[in-house]
Amino acid sequence: MVYEILRKYGIRGGYHDQHFLIDERVLDRIVDSADIKSHETILEIGAGIGNLTERLMAKAGHVIAVERDPELIYVLKDRFGESDKLTLIHGDVLDVEFPAFDKVVANLPYSISSEITFKLFRYNFKLAILMYQYEFAQRLVAHANSKDYSRLSVNAHYFADTSMIMKIPRGAFSPPPEVLSAVVELKPRPSYFEVLDEKYFLDFVTAVFGQRRKKMRNSILKNKQLLGIDDMKEFIHELPQELLDKRPENLEPEEFAELANMMFRHKQK
């Protein structure tokens, strides 16, 4: 069925550098992972030729599909007609405002995975089932003291619980990409640790991971201007020394928050 659609619309390998998910077992497993109810509205980002869209429409009350490419919008309209179960949004996912939705299920454009993920966290939803490049997915779900732990890991854990669902082989796509892919589950929740200022916390995490091999003490001193604390050399002695002796990859998210909160209070003074 999937190959027939590609042939019908003359879409060939390498179309605009896009890789279409064609493995029907993988498509079905992604949709099953979302546990979609008949009353729910599902957001799909990058609908492509509608392989995932079709399955989402069969389960959900309504599907909102965002697609930037005008030729693929034509394909989607031709495939699904004027269905009252589908709203098509023609536009760049980073520019459009999403209507209300319950869950998001998507094969994301890998080049803007981070931007899309953190845009989604601005919205109120129950669950996300998202496909990423495998290395990105590893960083997204990583925990402290692992080689993949990064600012992405800390920032994601601030917003949601994350877990890897499955690894996707190259052969599941047409044409096969050069990289492996993976599907991740994100469950948004209130943060389990206190953050006095969200932007300051996120900026702090980004800053110190810029020198991930340095100890926190050196990294903080190097970023004193970015962190807005001119007297950092004096103030740093008031911070927990046991945390300053660690490297960023060894701190738990709540420990980053503890340091960021102390610096933010000092900065406010």
Three-state secondary-structure class, residue 206: helix
Q: What is the pLDDT of residue 1?
A: 59
Q: Which of 226, 190, 186, 230 is nearest to 207 (CA)?
A: 226
Q: What is the average pLDDT score of the chain?
A: 93
CA–CA gap between residue 205 and residue 51 (Å, rounded): 38
Q: What is the pLDDT of residues 162-221, one digit of tens each?
A: 999 999 999 999 888 889 999 999 999 999 999 999 999 999 999 999 988 899 999 999
Instruction: Report the alpha-carbon distance of residue 127 to residue 180 in Å, rounded.
Output: 23
Q: Quick one: 111 exposed, middle or buried, by C-beta within 10 A (0-12, 13-18, 19+)?
A: exposed
Three-state SS string across 207-230, please? HHHCCCCCCHHHHHHHCCCCCCCC
Q: What is the DSSP letter of 126?
A: S
DSSP 42-87: EEEE--TTSHHHHHHHHHSSEEEEEE--HHHHHHHHHHHTT-TTEE
CB 129 within 8 A of CB 59: no
Whether the CA torsion 234, 247, 158, 115 is positive or negative: it is: positive
* Architecture of the CATH domain 2-188: 3-Layer(aba) Sandwich (3.40)
With cut-offs at 50, 70 and 90, classify the pLDDT of residue 2: low
Q: Could you tell me which CATH number the domain at 198-268 has?
A: 1.10.8.100
Structure confidence by residue, pLDDT tens digits, 111-160: 999 999 999 999 999 999 999 999 999 999 999 999 999 999 999 999 99
In the chain, what are the domain boundaries? 2-188, 198-268
Q: What pLDDT does residue 6 have?
A: 66
pLDDT tens by residue, 91-118: 999 999 999 999 999 999 899 999 999 9
pTM score of the predicted model: 0.92
Candidates 187, 191, 196, 245; CA nearest to 216 is: 245
